Amino acid sequence: MAIVGRPNAGKSTTINYLLGEERLLTSPEAGTTRDSISVELDYKGRNFRLFDTAGLRRRSRIEEKLEKLSVADALRAIRFAEVVVMMMDSQNKFEEQDLRITDLVEREGRALVLAVNKWDLVEKRGGMIGQLRTEADHWLPQIKGVPIVAISGLMGEGIDRLMGAIQESYKIWNRRIATAALNRWFEDAIGKNPPPAVSGRRLKLNYITQTKARPPSFVVFCSRADAVPTSYLRYLTNSMREAFELPGTPIRITLREKVNPFAHKRKRPN
Ligand SMILES: Nc1nc2c(ncn2[C@@H]2O[C@H](COP(=O)(O)OP(=O)(O)OP(=O)(O)O)[C@@H](O)[C@H]2O)c(=O)[nH]1
Ligand SMILES: [Mg+2]
C-alpha cells in the first residue's frame, strides 16, 4: 500500500505510529519526505509493504524540477501499490489538490481509502463523521461510498479502523461477480432505465461479463458501442456499485460491439 497526499498531511507520522518507532523523518515543514521509501509492517499478524511518499503540492515554478521528480516517484508508488491511502489534514480537507490526487489514484485503478488526519485538532466532533461522508460523496461522485476514516497519526487514534478499511477495500478491489448474477442485475438495470434511442433506433445492450478484477472490470456487448452515452455508463456503474456492494473501488465498464456473423454475407458474389 502507498500513502499519498499533500505535504504536511501527516503521512510519515502515521507510518511511524504503525511501526512503533520514529523511523521516518517528520517535521512541521512541508516537503520533508523527498523520495518514496518502502517499509515492512507486521500488523496483527499480517504483512504489509508500505510506501511513504513525498507530499504532492501544486507545482510552483522554482521547485518545478524537484517537484516533477517527486511526483513521478509518488506516481510509481501508486502504480506499484494495491491499496492507496489518500491522506488529508482535518484543518483543510477536500481542497483542489486533494481531489486531483484522488482522481489520479482512481484513474490508476487502485483500491482507495481516504484518511482525514489530525483528528485530535477537531474540537467539535458531534456529527463530524457524517459530514465527512457527505463531503466525500459530494466531491468524489465517481467513487461513491469510498471509505473515509478519521485518524490521528500522532496520537494513534483511529488506526485500527484505518487498517480495517484498507483490508476491506482490498477485498472489494479483488471481487469477482458470477456471470449469472451479473446479468440478472444487468437486465433489471436496463429495464428500469433503458438506453436512449439513437437516430430512431433503440440501442441494444446484449449482456455483460467480468473480464478481470483489481479493479473490477467488465465488458458490455452491444449493437453500437460508439452511440452509448457516458452518462448511461455512469448510470450502470453506480447501479452496479449499489447492487453488488462495491463502494469506493474503481469500476471499469467498456463496450464492445457484437460481431454480426451475417454482416459480410450480403457482399459475397454469387
Ligand atoms: N496534531 C497533529 N499533528 C500531526 C498529526 N500527524 C502529523 N502531525 C504533524 O504534522 C506535521 C507534518 O507531519 P509529517 O508526518 O512530516 O507530514 P508528511 O505528510 O509526511 O509531510 P511531507 O513529507 O512533507 O509530505 C508534523 O509537525 C507532525 O507532527 C496528527 O495526527 N495530529
Ligand atoms: Mg513525510
CATH architecture of the domain formed by 179-265: 2-Layer Sandwich (3.30)
* pLDDT tens-place values along the chain, 270 residues long: 999 999 999 999 999 999 999 999 999 999 999 889 999 999 999 999 999 999 988 765 555 666 677 778 888 999 999 999 999 999 999 999 999 899 999 999 999 999 999 999 999 888 999 999 999 999 999 898 999 999 999 999 999 999 999 999 999 999 999 999 999 999 999 999 999 888 888 889 999 999 999 999 999 999 888 889 999 999 999 999 999 999 989 999 999 997 766 656 555 554
CA of 12 to the centre of ligand 2 (A): 4
**Local structure of 145: helix, strand or coil:** coil
- Output the CA 86–ligand 1 centroid distance in Å: 14
**Residue 211: count of CB within 10 angstroms of its CB:** 12
Q: Measured in angstroms, how far is the CA atom of residue 152 from the centroid of ligand 1?
A: 10
Residue 117 Cα to ligand 2 midpoint, Å, equals 13
Does the CB atom of residue 102 touch ligand 1 within 6 A?
Answer: no
Q: Please list the residue range(s) of the chain that carry CATH number 3.40.50.300.
A: 2-173
Domain with CATH 3.30.300.20 in the chain: 179-265
Question: Cell numbers at residue 142, please?
Answer: 465517481
Fold of the domain spanning 2-173: Rossmann fold (3.40.50)
24 lines ligand 1 (CB under 6 A): no
Ligand 1, residue 33: give the atom nearest the CA.
23
Taking alpha carbons only, the member of 69, 98, 72 closest to residue 85 is 98
| pTM of this structure | 0.91
Pocket of ligand 1 contains residue 55 by CB under 6 Å? yes
Return d(Cα 86, Cα 73) in angstroms, integer: 16
